[in-house]
Amino acid sequence: MKRVFVWTALCLASVVFLYPLLWLVSASLKPRPEVFDNALVPHHVQLDNYVAIWSAAPVLTWLLNSVVVAVAAAVAVTASSAVVAFGFAYFRFPGRNLLFGLVVATMMLPGAVTMIPTYLIWNHLHLATTQVPLWAANLFGSAFYIFLLRQFFLGLPRELFEAARVDGAGYWRMFRKIAVPLCRPALVVVLVFELRASWSELLKPLIYLRDPNLYTMPRGMKAILDQFGQNGESRWEVVLAGAVITTIPMVIAYFLAQRYFTEGIATQGRRG
């Protein structure tokens, strides 16, 4: 009975989470009068919605821009956060806990507080209308990812690093040869989290991007919404087709990284 209850609960939760995605895909294939009829199986399939979105906007350019920005942001924040987290986990120095507490405390600082100063910095560097501000700030790490990776690094046996020190390994070599391979699941989780965050980011592109050829997919979707969803003859089927195109890459990314999520959870359980 317990197993039946668990499986039933999991199935119901799956339906709750999958229904919006199924509705989105279904609505993107419907003609305009049937978009909001809530039928998961379209009565009439209209593939022209996807043709219309590709014809009305440079979707491929926006997708490539999103890939470049998301990958750059994810790699930058993963590498920088891992270095800082390893430093907090391995080195013993006065004030370490206080400094780490200050780093974690920055998570409580709303992004709106630093929005204007950050823009002024990029504007002073003459980069305020480029894609650089969308990813370059990640070179300085993220408090949440530093906290997450530090916990993984703390779970590694310190004897491994001491043995490497005896063999003449330096700090960078210990980081690259010991810490990174053993914490690969956590690094992949951070990478995927940041990919998702950067892929769906709308506020920064709205602030910094002016040239339509530099738009990321969320910024492009805002332009598509303004064009097809805000006039007298709203074409929501075209907007929803664009939403499906925006969503599919992240679904694939999570599917490919699923093994690492499971492995990371299992590793934490063994350490606990």
Interior angle at CA 14, CA 11 and CA 17, nearest 5: 155
**Alpha-carbon distance 225 to 78, whole Å?**
33
How far is residue 85's CA from residue 149's CA, in Å, rounded to a whole number?
A: 6
Tokens linked to 86: 């390893």
Taking the CB of residue 130, how many other CB atoms lie within 10 A of it? 16
Q: What local confidence, expressed as pLDDT, does residue 266 receive? A: 53
Q: Encoding tokens for residue 122?
A: 């990029």
Cβ atoms of 250 and 196 closer than 8 Å? yes
pLDDT at residue number 261: 67
Q: Tell me, what amino acid is at 57?
A: A
Q: Which tens digits make up the pLDDT trace of 161-172?
A: 888 888 888 888
Question: In the predicted model, is pLDDT for residue 258 greater than 90?
Answer: no
Measured between alpha carbons, how far is 12 from 8 in angstroms, rounded to an integer?
Answer: 6
CA distance 95 to 79: 24
Q: What is the pLDDT of residue 232?
A: 55
pTM for the structure as a whole? 0.85
62 within 8 A of 249, measured Cβ to Cβ: no
Dump pLDDT digits (tens) for 175-211.
988 888 888 888 988 998 899 999 999 999 999 998 9
* Proportion of the chain above pLDDT 90, given as a percent: 36
Note the CATH number of domain 76-210: 1.10.3720.10
pLDDT above 70 (res 262): no
Tell me the pLDDT tens digit for each residue of 49-77: 899 888 888 999 999 999 999 999 999 99
CA–CA dist 133, 209 (Å, integer): 10
| pLDDT, the chain, mean | 87
Going through the chain in order, the beta strands assigned E by DSSP cover none
